[in-house]
Each structure stands twice: as structure tokens, then as C-alpha cells.
Amino acid sequence: MNVVIFFGFTRRYRFFYLGISLVFTVSNRSKLPRNAFVPMLLFALPPTLGGALQTAFYGILTLYPMITISLLMVFIFDQSKRVVTDYLTGVANRRQFENHIANLKPKQIDKNLAGMLIDLNDFKSINDTYGHVYGDEVLIELAKVLKTTFTANDFIARTGGDEFVILFKVKKTRSVATATRNLIENVNVFNASGRFPFDVKFSYGVLLFDAAKYSSIADFIAQIDQLMYRQKRQTGQQGSEFPLR
């Protein structure tokens, strides 16, 4: 009897639960990756259609097959995300980075997109002295700082062992210098927390894309890479064309 009442209650309020899920998804849109919001909304479409058909045509069971289709969509989406996500840090991997820059149009991003490359300093020494577990933790924590510093609409990827790349939109409220300063300040705050028995330090290069200066996106990334390694070689030299003070 209780089982019958439970399933009757569940069937009666299935659209209510679905509606709550949609409201929750929409209200947390800003926290979701840019390419995840629309798929999450589409996942609700098959159960909605199945429930409507089952309600309209009594005796035809369409809800649960549609839920199965929706779960299959979730599984496929999850697997596709895993292919382009760095398993350790949760940011995009090199494959996704290459796909991302291949889709960038120079005219559309001219002077409103900046790129930053980051390379950890003394990372090999950290691994040799404290072990690879500590090294992995440093990468994970740095990725968290990057996610905190930049927005869900910015692109963050781990392109190598201890190398990260960030592509971010430049706005009136966020210049290249401001974004760079925020990152440095956030890393300093993290170091002050004493999470590790050493400070996390990094070299970086950052530039604003200018179609008049760079013949391609690849050339733009290469120039940032040169700035980063110039800073790495010359202690105290800032890897940026933009003053931070």
C-alpha cells in the first residue's frame, strides 16, 4: 500500500521536480562552464516530452523510455567532457586548448581578448624534495586559484606538466594589468595561508591580442610564450607589456 502511494505521489509531482531542477540550473547559470548550460537544459527535454505524451495518451508508457534517453545523453556529455578535461586539475587539457584556439576568429577578438601563459618556478625541485604527491597538490591548488581569479566564461587549460594558459575577455572593469594583478594577489594570499611549507611561485607572460601585430593566433601564443620564458630567465623582469603599478 505504501509503495502504491509513493509511486502515485511521485507520478503526480514529477513535473514539479523537473521544474525545480530547471529553476536551479538557470539560477546557477553563472557558476556553470559556458558550454554546459544549454546541454543541461536539453537533458530535461526528453522526460518533459515523455511525460506530456503519457499524460495525453493514457496507457502509453513514454516517460521512462524518455528518462533513459536523457540519462544516455548525460552519460555521453560526461564522457565527451572527460576527453577534453585535465584529469588532475579539472581545467581544460591541451586537446581542448588546441580546439579552442582553432575556433577563434582574429577579427572578433581583436583588442578584446588577452592571453596569459603560466609556468611554475622550481617545480622539479618541489617534486624531488617533497615528492610527486606534493607536486600534484600544487597543480590542483593553482588551478583553484585560477578559477577563483577568472570567470566561468574565461578559458583555462593545463597544456603541459606545470604550464597553464588563460584566455580572458578584456573589459572596462578588467584590464590586462588588473587581471594579472588579481592573480598575483590571490597567489600571495594562498601562500600566506601556509598550505605548503614553501611558496608557490610562477613565471608568466601576458598580452592583449592585436590583429595588426600578430598574423595568427598561433603567433600570438608564441609571443606570450617568449615573454614568459624571458621572465623565467631574467629574475625580476615582468612578463608583460602592461605596468602593474
Same domain flag for 76 and 102: no
Task: Judge whether 171 and 113 are in contact, CB under 8 Å.
Answer: no
Q: 102: domain CATH number?
A: 3.30.70.270
Q: How confident is the model at residue 34 (pLDDT cuts 50, 70, 90)?
A: low
**Domain end call among 34, 52, 83:** 83
The number of folded domains in the chain is: 2
* pLDDT tens-place string over residues 106-149: 888 888 999 999 999 999 999 999 999 999 999 999 999 999 99
Residue 43's alpha-carbon distances to 28, 38, 69, 84, 208, in angstroms, are: 16, 9, 9, 20, 38
Residue 144 resides in a domain: yes
pLDDT digits (tens, 9 = 90+) for 44-77: 777 777 777 777 877 778 777 777 777 777 766 6
Domain hosting residue 27, numbered range: 2-83
**What pTM value is reported for the model?**
0.71
